[in-house]
Amino acid sequence: MTALSGSAADPAFDPEGRLLRALQIPSPNCDAREGTIPINLLVVHSISLPPGQFGGSAVIDFFLNRLNHAAHPYFEQLRGMEVSSHFFIRRSGEPIQFVPCLRRAWHAGRSQWKGRERCNDFSIGVELEGTDDSAFTGAQYVELARLTRELQRAYPIRDIVGHSDIAPGRKTDPGAGFDWGRYRSMI
């Protein structure tokens, strides 16, 4: 196993880091990881588009650069943004993967963790469908815990943080609605 690759013995992922049980919807908003930097950080995010509205295709469309900016006034501020995440977990617990783990998803933006800048270089991003102040569903916690365990078996993940931890003052997600104690007890 190289610093980037998943374990050949781990049946959860293909050799590129695609979770075999997840719906695959490839996003163009990614690039190659540099060198052999270990993937050792998991970043938990939250997103809903428009904010507070769940379901629908807006998050998927946003990660695919095909969001109809005229569909909602909030969407105009997202014009020109090119972002993605490795995974998106719907309220139902359904996992969707946009970027293989061995590629760099554009989820963290300006960020740093433990003195290291550019967290996209060494992290995997998981978006939960939700908002900073809404409770997440039991199905989301179950899926996030399962995915976390699978990722920890395949990659040398040492730290699990929120987006707010790596971009304080700029980001607030996953927010007060996310129960870190519940999540950590499940993994």
pLDDT single digits (tens) 59-84: 999 999 999 999 999 999 999 999 99
Residue with token string 């095909």: 66
Average pLDDT, the chain: 95
Question: Which phi and psi (to 5°) does residue 167 adopt?
Answer: -140, 55
Tokens read off for 14: 């293909």
Amino acid at site 185: S
Residue 9 lies in a domain: no
Note if 127 is an active site residue. Answer: yes
The verdict on residue 48 lying in a domain is yes
- CATH assignment of the domain containing 175: 3.40.80.10
Looking at residue 2, its pLDDT comes to 43
Segment among 27-31, 35-39, 107-111 with least mean pLDDT: 35-39
| Within a domain: 141 | yes
Please check whether residue 4 lies inside any domain of the structure: no
pTM of the model: 0.95
**What's the rounded Cα separation, in Å, for the pair 148 and 141?**
10
Residue 7 domain-assigned (yes or no) = no
Structural domain total, the chain: 1
Range of the domain at 35: 23-186
Share of the chain above pLDDT 90, in %: 93
Rg of the chain (C-alpha set): 15
pLDDT band for 9, please (50, 70, 90 cuts). low
Residue 89 domain flag? yes
Q: How many CB atoms lie within 10 A of CB 134?
A: 18
- Identify which of 184, 41, 43 has the alpha carbon closest to the alpha carbon of residue 108: 43
Determine the pLDDT at residue 50: 97
User: Does residue 68 form part of some domain?
Assistant: yes
Q: Is there a domain that residue 95 lies in?
A: yes
Which of 127, 129, 143, 150 is the catalytic position?
127
The number of angstroms, rounded, from the C-alpha of 180 to the middle of its chain's C-alpha atoms is: 16
Contact 107, 120 (CB under 8 A): yes
